[in-house]
Homo-oligomer: A and B are copies of this chain.
Amino acid sequence: MTSLGHAQGTDFSGPPALGGAKRGTRVLVLGAGLSGMLAAYELRKAGYAVTILEFQNRSGGRNITLRGGDTVTEMGGATQKVGFSSGNYLNPGPWRIPYHHQGLLHYCKAFGVQLEPFIQINQNSWLHSKSQFGGKPVRYREFNSDFNGFTAELLAKAVDQHKLDDVLTPDERAHVREAMRDWGGLTPNMRYEKSVPSSLHRGYEKARGGGLSGIPELSQPFDPADIWKSGFWRWMEFHETVDMQTTMFQPVGGMDQIGKAFTRQVQDLIHLNCKVTAIQQSESGVTVTYNDGKQGGAVQQAQADFCVCTLPLSILSQLDVQVSDDLKAAISAVPYASSVKIGLEFRRRFWEEDEQIYGGISFTDQSIGQISYPSHGIFSPGPAVLLGAYMFRAPAYELAGMSPQQRIEQALAQGEAIHPQYRKEFLNGVSFAWSRVPWTMGCCSLWSEQSRKMHYKTLCTMDKRIVLAGEHASYVGCWQEGAILSALDAVKQLHRRAKGAA
């Protein structure tokens, strides 16, 4: 392309070319999530004889959508029945697709998944902390504008007072000054203050309108000291990270439309209710031992020439797996993140009707972490579901430790600090605590820089006849794209091995 650099998001260069496979070579795929189903799809297309063993009574893995009537049973025994109205849903796992997740987007197109825009950045959403700005939420655009403005004012002052002459040429000084003035919304005398330029960014105290009643009043920026100490800039930075940039997409009707589309491609290969307990290999093949739920848990064995194992490391590390000690160490080295999502259904879209918030995310430093508003059904009447909590780390363990009822109460108690309509409009809710999900025991892999260095290559390298795949075997961890790209790399390795190459 014509770009200067080649800075990219993720790496996808089209479906794998697996020509010349020995037809009938048997492959066992463990796990019918996206990575397992894609590996099976591509391998079968190349001529392999593929079987998929899946623990759950459904395919799709973490690609999942909850609707009214669905049941969620978690480790510990708590069961929730989803009470959403018809057409409403929550995506407890993946819920958005960045523009550069080209692998996933490719297969969505190939498999007929209809996508629609997911609204990620919303400059009218709220930023909130109980300890900042008197505990009251501030609009994203107000904070963002004031942060930029005060940053620009400070830097322009340093430049004007010749305090950066050691690193800036006279020309650069002039350019930086001009940039700060325009980008920061400064006045001609380089101040960020109540003025036309600042109100054009942060909004007016009395809005612009029409006719005699339309004369606006300028708004007063926050105190810069409050901006600096708030820490809210981390939520501005969030939108600058490459996986959170816009444009984003979601499948029309729920994220599980992707899982269903993948399933349609490999439906006949999938054996549900098969709990793998051991994976062994020899010079001649792979043997997988499992309990077959369709036969009362009877122990069964399956043989194949090769195996693609997509089980989450949190599960795989507990099984009897015959691989090298190095690979065993890698499998055990990656902790899994805890995460909780809570879906809340309300009588009406008060965030739209009362607060002019259409899609996007409000952030809080409370344990719910964020509130995200649906990108679909905007302007429609009747009940709607928002994402009332989504967080990782300590707050996720805190919420996962509660009963489902307690979690909903927490989401309401914290959410009403941002939306006072919460209690009045609430209908029902459901929570999904990933650390309590028996088939994954966590949300996704949490690589550290250190563990990457020590274990990543080992984890991703085919061990004789067994190769791992899944978001954990990628640099796009916790995203569906990681599962897709990892599966493609795994089947390429397997194919090279099957053809007898190194």
Contact = CB atoms under 8 A, between A and B. Distances in A.
* Most B Cβ at <10 Å: residue of A126, A171, A222, A356: A356
Contacts of A9: 203-204, 207-208, 356
A62 interface: no
Contact of A167 (B124, B148, B157, B492): B157
A275 interface: no
Contacts of A126: 3
A154 B375 CA distance: 38
From A4, A121, A460, A492, residue with most partner B Cβ within 10 Å: A4
A365 interface: no
A151 interface: yes
B493 A211 contact: yes
Contacts of A164: 154, 157-158, 163
Interface stretch (A87-95, A132-140, A382-390): A132-140
Contacts of A137: 2-4
Nearest to A140: B245
A233 B183 CA distance: 6
A209 B122 contact: no
A495 B213 CA distance: 15
Interface residues of A, number: 134
B117 A100 contact: no
A100 B124 contact: yes
A220 to B, nearest CB: 7
Contacts of A23: none
Interface stretch (A172-180, A337-345, A428-436): A172-180
B210 A486 contact: yes
Interface stretch (A278-286, A325-333, A401-409, A470-478): A470-478
Contact of A142 (B5, B360, B483): B5
Given A210-B485, A475-B216, A1 B355 contact: yes
A172 B3 contact: no
A144 interface: yes
Interface stretch (A40-48, A63-71, A235-243, A258-266): A235-243
Contacts of A234: 182-183
A482 interface: yes
A213 B489 contact: yes
A216 B4 CA distance: 18
A424 interface: no
A233 B5 CA distance: 19
Given A121-B121, A474-B210, A167 B154 contact: yes
A214 B139 contact: no
A115 B379 contact: yes
A247 B359 contact: yes
Contacts of A200: 241-242
A364 interface: no
A119 interface: yes
9 contacts: A2-B136, A8-B204, A9-B356, A99-B124, A115-B379, A121-B121, A122-B247, A183-B236, A208-B474
Interface of A: 1-12, 99-100, 102-103, 105, 108-109, 115-117, 119, 121-124, 126, 133-134, 136-139, 141-142, 144-145, 147-148, 151-152, 154-155, 157-159, 161, 163-164, 167-169, 171-172, 175-176, 178-180, 182-183, 185, 199-216, 219-220, 222, 224-225, 228-229, 231, 233-234, 236-237, 240-242, 245-247, 249, 354-360, 375, 378-379, 417-420, 456-457, 460-461, 469, 473-476, 482-490, 492-493
